[in-house]
Amino acid sequence: MSEYDDEDMEYSDQDDYEDYYNADRDVMSPPHNPDAEYFPVQCLSVDEVEKFLNELVEQLCTSIHVTPSMSKVLLYENKWAVQEVLWKYNEDPDKLFVASRMKTLQPVSVKTKRDKFVCPVCVGPVAEELGITSLACGHCYCDNCWRCHFENKIKQGVSTELSCMALNCELLVPEEIVLSTVNKPILRKKYQQFAFREYIKSHPLLRFCPGANCTAVIKSKESLAKKAICTQCETSFCFKCGNDYHAPTDCATIKKWITKCADDSETSNYIAANTKDCPKCNIFIEKNGGCNHMQCLSCKFDFCWMCMGDWKAHGTEYYDCSKYRENPQNGSESARAREALKKYLHYYERWENHSKSLQLEKQTLDKIKERINSKVMTSKGTWIDWQYLLDSATLLAKCRYTLQYTYPYAYYMDNGPKKELFEYQQAKLEAEIENLSWKIERAETTDRGDLENQMDIAEKRRATMLQDFFHI
């Protein structure tokens, strides 16, 4: 057992939540899979997605006897929920069509002579044989004007939202009318491509892979804020919002946090620096690794990069520098504003620090690969023998990534027992991550059993936190 394990055992018994944390609890969230973040998805090609959508269109066409073009509008407007559309149709078909912008309550009455029609747009007489089209709303225009309207909208990227050109009329134009009117192959192809993308975006169980130059579409059985991984390019993201995966923080909260960070970027620029002074000898120190357990090369003082306190205090007390301590302000508005800024900077600094540590630990991973390659080339074992080093670096990145996203979660939490428990688990996870990072960076002298034991502890902390606070 390492010195850090001894320290952890020494102080952990004194913690109020230790009985809760060490109780015989099942941290395996889904009973069928040990990974709390397990989320089965399918990686589909464009052809497979088209087949999937066409099957839904055909199912609706068969059930209520509408054209494929009308079926697409109904499904698009109702999030592709076939059963819901059928239920609404059986209840009141007119209400469904009106709500889906396929029909108006009071269609416009257009008076025309049998042999002549005056188009309201070009104000010219148009013979019926030259082409006149009227939508369900009753608005009637010559095909040439419709064509110009459609082409301009398609050039602007409009497809499924292409509506009647009459003022204040929101009736959607069915696909068959658009394709029968537009005769330029390039624009017809663009319209179909735009519509296909909009269909995917509107379907709650489909999501474009955000990976660079990846054309895959990810399909799941449920629309949840869980980690989806594209098997084509290995990009991971939150399935529900499509952004970077952010457990344990929910989609709405992470959106607020990212917006706040962007708005306050000028204020917080100074804390993004990678340098600080040693708290003992004041020598200039640059952080060149992911571990927050620092040792001054000059005076050999061990301290925490986050709170600049003696690292030994992180063993006699639980890892406490992740917790923000409120300073109640009953004074002026400016005093409250300063306290609010102080609180934000506390969480932002830790958020940014773990992001930078992740980048620095990528360099550590590269060094580990070079070290393993050197050992293999000099017959000091095989890649399999040294695989545990790569596994430890991968787990470290996974744990630190989760830890980074605990700070937006904590920032928006209300004070109370729940936040106290969260901060306790956050501190425990942070302590184990720093211990793991320290040992990985010194892997040459770290015992393999000690390292693997630290990996197991860190992952247990991470899994427990996600189980308790990542509510789907």
The residues annotated with a catalytic role in the active site are 291
Taking residue 423's Cβ as centre, other Cβ atoms within 10 Å add up to 18
Cβ neighbors of 20 (< 8 A, separation 6 or more) are 421
Q: Please tell me the distance from the alpha carbon of residue 293 to that of residue 295, in angstroms, as a whole number.
A: 7
Long-range CB pairs of 115-123, under 8 A, 24+ apart, other chains included: 117/142, 119/145, 121/145, 121/165
Closest CA to 464 of 13, 19, 5, 22: 22
- Reduced to 3 states (helix: H, G, I; strand: E, B; else coil), residue 451 is helix
Closest CA to 59 of 76, 77, 72: 72
User: What count of residues does the chain have?
Assistant: 472
How is 219-280 classified by DSSP, letter by letter?
EESS--SSEEE-TTT--EEETTT-SS--TTS-HHHHHHHHHHHHHTHHHHGGGG-SEEE-TT
Cβ neighbors of 254 (< 8 A, separation 6 or more) are 241, 243, 246, 405, 408
Q: Please tell me the distance from the alpha carbon of residue 282 to that of residue 271, in angstroms, as a whole number.
A: 18
Token pair listed for 62: 């068969």
Closest CA to 128 of 113, 138, 139: 113
Angle 333-377/417-441 helices, nearest 10 degrees? 30
Q: Please tell me the distance from the alpha carbon of residue 86 to that of residue 78, in angstroms, as a whole number.
A: 11
Q: Please tell me the distance from the alpha carbon of residue 347 to that of residue 407, in angstroms, as a whole number.
A: 6
Closest CA to 183 of 146, 235, 210: 146
Please say whether the dihedral angle defined by the alpha carbons of residues 99, 101, 103 and 107, taken in this order, is positive or negative.
positive
What is the identity of the amino acid at 362? K
Q: What is the DSSP letter of 378?
A: T
Token pair listed for 230: 């594209």
